[in-house]
Structure 1
């Protein structure tokens, strides 16, 4: 399931997952809008030791297998930014450890592998949608700037032509002294 949060400037958001020994958790995230599209991310174990830390990253995938029971914490931080808010999309996937003592049917094992692959495709698709939105916004912004620059150049051109006509007309005008 995908989540989307808005990190205001100089803010931090943390989330928790309770895991048991050998449970696996994967967090995928991407910054969809704001500033330089970068955030700080870290994952820590129940004792507070950092398992992974990504600084100024725009996207990432972090997986961990629980070595101890407890609450694992993952945080997104925009504390390095003083002005820009960031929009972060993330997914958390978990796999509860079931010991394979040979009684799991091969078809069940294949279904689990397919479910993992399907989840990876879904994550990639969500990432592509966010990147497409960012690129579309950039293209629309560029288009707007080009339009206003062209209008400005047209006004300057008309003003320059008007000034030149006035100047040439006054240059050829005969001055009469009585």
Structure 2
């Protein structure tokens, strides 16, 4: 690993923060959170829903094709995990329902989602492979650097795709402009010739 990669890893470690999301959800309401995640990435989520008499909270995790990745009825506290098969937009939805009708109080929902290096349990990996603390840290740094490289590669691919789209659009606009100019010149020439024949027919000009 060269100095540039080490610097990028250290900067990323300084910038990475993990914050749980907390929000309140009224009875018979639904709230969804969306996030874009790359291909072959481990995603984990820890959730906790506050107690409320006469209410049930349901949790559902889906992708953009409406495939259900995780579903839990009467969700209170738990954890879900899945690995992405392709780059996609994923949605985590909570909805609350009154069981016996009437009015209920808002419920506080806490959600802590992690993906990639953050979601991996290096403690279990150390136990399984009998790694030393330094080896575990090196493995984590290696995975983090690979994640950064993959992100850069994806950004470069997107940049190339956008550049190709811009060049294609530019070419189409240029050809359309030339075609429009030719049409205007042809129309103007036809109009001049037509008016000239018309005026000659009416003997207004010689």
Question: Which of residues 63, 79, 83 in structure 2 aligns to 1:65?
Answer: 83
Question: Which of residues 69, 78, 83 in structure 2 aligns to 1:51?
Answer: 69
If asked which structure has higher relative contact order (CA below 8 Å, sep 6+), I would say 1
What is the aligned partner in structure 2 of residue 11 from structure 1?
Answer: 29
Please give the TM-score of this superposition, normalised by the length of structure 1.
0.52
Mapped partners of 1:48, 1:22: distance in 2 = 19
How much is the aligned-residue C-alpha RMSD, in angstroms? 2.7
Contact in 2 for aligned 1:35/1:86 (Cα 8 Å): no
Structure 1, gaps ≥5 residues long: 98-104, 114-178
Question: Which of residues 134, 138, 158 in structure 2 aligns to 1:108?
Answer: 138
What is the aligned partner in structure 1 of residue 50 from structure 2?
Answer: 32
Q: How does 1:144-163 map to 2 (within 5 A)?
A: none
Check 1:20–1:80 CA distance in 2 against 1; reply closer, same or farther (3 A cut). Answer: farther
Shift of 1:80: 4.3
Question: Which of residues 60, 81, 89 in structure 1 aligns to 2:110?
Answer: 89
Check 1:23–1:86 CA distance in 2 against 1; reply closer, same or farther (3 A cut). Answer: same
Structure 1 runs of 4+ aligned residues shifted over 4 Å read 110-113
Mapped partners of 1:76, 1:45: distance in 2 = 15
Q: Select the structure of larger CA radius of gyration.
A: 2
Structure 2, gaps ≥5 residues long: 1-18, 119-133, 144-206
Please give the TM-score of this superposition, normalised by the length of structure 2.
0.46
